[in-house]
Copies of this chain bind each other. A is one copy, B any other.
């Protein structure tokens, strides 16, 4: 679905409209554009071109005699073709890294990262924790806690430490659990969590029969654990920043947005979808499948560990968002997050 290229003059004007509107949050008039372009064109000419742009759907009128406002299609064209690339100085990058490294454990790092996104973009920031199933097992421990319950502690290469409290119909003795723990650690270190099952199954076949019972119990423990591995954690910060934007001035929109934010899971769905594709992506207003997102845009990126996508992060704000700046922040923060996580391995 490629968009037709706009002639360079049109592009200049569309770009100016988008950037001015992003900055001012107010409809942009022909006069203002002429000034911004140093009167290379007269306001009248610009009015003509704007009429064309409007007909093609890149901009609109809120009412007959106001300036122009970009449509979602206009923002999209801007993001795809016009947006200048912003770069952070090495100094700024260091600053960001220093702040993220200050986190003790992974949940602190995730929190700091989403706060950082929120602060630097002046929008809401969201970071999805590394996906368990896409991480590799580093260490596993089974602890008997009585009551037919076993605590499984999973430590992954992504730095995640996950506790799973498993309940069983029967009791496993402490020494039996230890044997199973040893089995797991000996056989499964470095294996992707999503593969553990398959992997252990193969192993079993090639092994001698004496440990069959061990394997049987190991499987039933894994089975119980796998049910609880799906949950996706995430950190969401800075919602207030978008609530105070002028587009959410009226009570009704605000209330709807508040409900949306309270039910944070929706954002997660979008990020989860994006994890399938590489690179930075913008979801602009109506492009979002959920209709509640109409007045919102998301800019998302993935992050990797050992070259594999394990998580996603992004920024949420009104469609009138400083895309160039947000893209650069999201890109850099995701890269920095990767290096912070890798370094902790």
Contacts and interface: CB of A to CB of B under 8 A. Distances in A.
A79 interface: no
A153 B145 contact: no
Contacts of A163: 105, 153, 161, 163
A97 interface: no
A81 interface: no
26 contacts: A104-B165, A105-B163, A105-B165, A139-B143, A141-B141, A141-B143, A143-B153, A143-B155, A145-B155, A151-B153, A151-B155, A151-B161, A153-B153, A153-B163, A161-B165, A163-B163, A239-B262, A240-B255, A240-B258, A240-B259, A240-B261, A240-B262, A243-B258, A244-B254, A244-B258, A249-B251
A323 to B, nearest CB: 24
A68 interface: no
Given A161-B163, A161-B165, A244-B251, 14 more contacts: A104-B228, A141-B143, A143-B153, A145-B155, A151-B153, A151-B155, A153-B163, A237-B262, A240-B255, A240-B258, A240-B259, A240-B262, A244-B255, A244-B258
A105 B255 CA distance: 32
A138 interface: yes
A238 interface: yes
Contacts of A145: 138-139, 155
A5 to B, nearest CB: 42
What copy number does this chain have within its complex? Answer: 2
A275 to B, nearest CB: 24
A262 B114 CA distance: 13
A contacts with B: majority SS: mixed
Interface string A151-191: 10101000001010100000000000000000000000000
A305 B298 CA distance: 44
Interface string A225-265: 00010000000011110011000010100110011011000
A238 B258 CA distance: 10
Interface string A120-139: 00000000000000000011
Contacts of A151: 153, 155, 161
Nearest to A228: B104
A240 B258 CA distance: 6
Contacts of A228: 104
